[in-house]
Amino acid sequence: YFQCHMPGDPVQPGCLCVDAVWQLLGFYCVWRGALGAGRALGCGEVTFSGQIRPYNKCVRYEIEVRRFSQLKDSGASIAIADGNIFVDNELIAHVKDARTGVFHGIVYPDYPKRSANSVGGIMRGST
C-alpha cells in the first residue's frame, strides 16, 4: 500500500492503526473464551501524532482492556479498551474506547456472492 498511499509521500493509512487495535481486542476476547464472529463496534476519539513510513523498523500496539463482558444468554462477548500505537518506540496514535464484540450465529447466506467475474472471492483468470 505504500506505493499507492500516497504516491511520492508513502505512509500507512491511519485507519489500519485503528483496525489493528480492534483486531487485538478481538484476539483478547477469544483468549478469554469467546467463540464466534468478531466485529468492530466503534471507538471514541482517535488522535494521530505521527506516521508509519516504509523506513520504520518496529510498530508496537498496546491495549489496556478496561472492560470485558460475556453475555450468557446470547453467548456474545464484548470488550472495551484504549489502544496506543508506537513506531520505533514513539507514540504516534491513541484510540480511546475501542469496542469489539464476538457473536454467535452471524451468517451471510449470499456470501461469497457469485457474479460473472468472481466465485467465492477469487477473480476468474487470476490463477
Name the residues annotated as catalytic: 5
Compute the distance between CA of residue 117 and CA of residue 103 in angstroms, rounded to an integer. 31
> From first to last of its 127 residues, what are the pLDDT tens digits of the chain?
777 778 888 999 899 999 999 999 999 999 999 999 999 999 999 999 999 999 999 999 999 999 999 998 998 999 999 999 999 999 999 999 999 999 998 877 776 677 776 655 554 554 4
* Under 8 Å between Cβ of 21 and 83: yes
Say what the pTM is.
0.83
Any residues with CB less than 8 A from the CB of 97 and at least 6 apart, and which? 43, 44, 45, 80, 82
Which residue bears the cell 504516491?
A: 7
Domains of the chain, earliest start first = 14-123 (3.10.129.10)
